Copies of this chain bind each other. A is one copy, B any other.
């Protein structure tokens, strides 16, 4: 009986055609130097002739390693996370790993399900953004014994396995800069703070710097909108509708700042003359909008490299390293300026 669907050739088929054992054929694939040239060539010829393609799933089962690393992001549509994936992919891809990317769209609960799905699917390691996760995530990770790394945030980081930067310190620097420019009336625009220690740290950093200057920020001056360009627009509208406007609008992401900037243009609010606007992340587009965005450079590239390297170490059975804090820096552009004289 002829099989209806032409089954893809397996290593057994290759071995048979080459006239060697399955074991030898397998060795040719994984450790070619451990096999005589003659047999190697026979196997390679047979593989070529049959169009043999190794079955990664069988391989993963036998080796108990899938060569896949999971990455759970807030969203892939913010370029700052896309860049992170880009770097990670290059670094881990170079060592033969594939990336399984998932995004929870800032849904705290959704993240639990994504992590579980990734573990079930059979990843070898997991990269998480941030350190504030549902206890269920931690439990899953602990139970599975899966190597995992946290990223982005060193503000509330565990002692190990986190590579990030100080969102709080960065934001302090930003606000201090604005204070030095003479600003005294501030508003802060952020996405939701719940389950997001990065946003919290950024807002806290701003608050601290202001407090040190004797400025107390009112609850109303912290506007919460979605982490997006549209959220930025909305936020600016809210603030513009106020009686006494701030002279500086501190946004917790470049995306929100870009939206706020666009809306300021639309409303005829001059930036930075009537209102200074600042961002956070330093995504590519930040320098291309106008006025170019004064922002914090988040060290995404370096963070991605470090996370990738550490993940590779952990995947090879290496021990956890202490958490690492990468410096950020303020990028002065034109969206923030000296406060206008009365």
Contact = CB atoms under 8 A, between A and B. Distances in A.
A43 to B, nearest CB: 17
A208 to B, nearest CB: 30
Contacts of A61: 55, 57-58, 61
Q: Determine chain A's interface SS by DSSP, over half rule.
A: helix
A86 interface: yes
Nearest to A67: B121
A82 B76 contact: yes
A255 to B, nearest CB: 8
Interface in A229-287: 229, 232-233, 258-259, 261-262, 265, 284-285, 287
A268 to B, nearest CB: 12
Given A288-B262, A289-B289, A89 B102 contact: yes
Contact of A53 (B82, B93, B120): B120
A101 B99 contact: yes
Nearest to A263: B288
A76 B76 CA distance: 9
Interface residues on A, range: 35 or more
A290 B289 contact: yes
A86 B76 contact: yes
Given A261-B288, A290-B289, A75 B66 contact: no
Contacts of A122: 55-57, 60
Which among A8, A86, A98, A289 has the highest number of chain B CB atoms within 10 Å? A98
Contact of A144 (B53, B58, B98): B53
Nearest to A117: B98
Interface string A148-172: 0000000000000000000000000
A214 to B, nearest CB: 35
Contacts of A89: 76, 101-103
A127 interface: no
Contacts of A75: 86
A327 interface: no
B101 A101 contact: yes
Most chain-B CB neighbours within 10 Å: which of A6, A56, A100? A56
Interface in A43-61: 51, 53-58, 60-61
A288 to B, nearest CB: 4
Contacts of A67: 121
Given A120-B54, A285-B229, A83 B77 contact: yes
Ranked nearest first, the 5 interchain pairs of A and B with the lowest CB-CB distance are A262-B288, A56-B122, A57-B60, A56-B121, A57-B122
10 contacts: A56-B122, A85-B101, A89-B101, A98-B117, A99-B101, A228-B284, A229-B287, A262-B288, A262-B289, A289-B290
Given A98-B118, A288-B289, 13 more contacts: A60-B60, A61-B61, A76-B82, A77-B86, A79-B79, A98-B121, A233-B288, A258-B289, A259-B288, A261-B290, A262-B290, A265-B290, A285-B289
Interface of A: 6, 8, 51, 53-58, 60-61, 66-68, 75-77, 79, 82-83, 85-86, 89, 93, 98-103, 116-122, 143-145, 228-229, 232-233, 258-259, 261-262, 265, 284-285, 287-290, 292
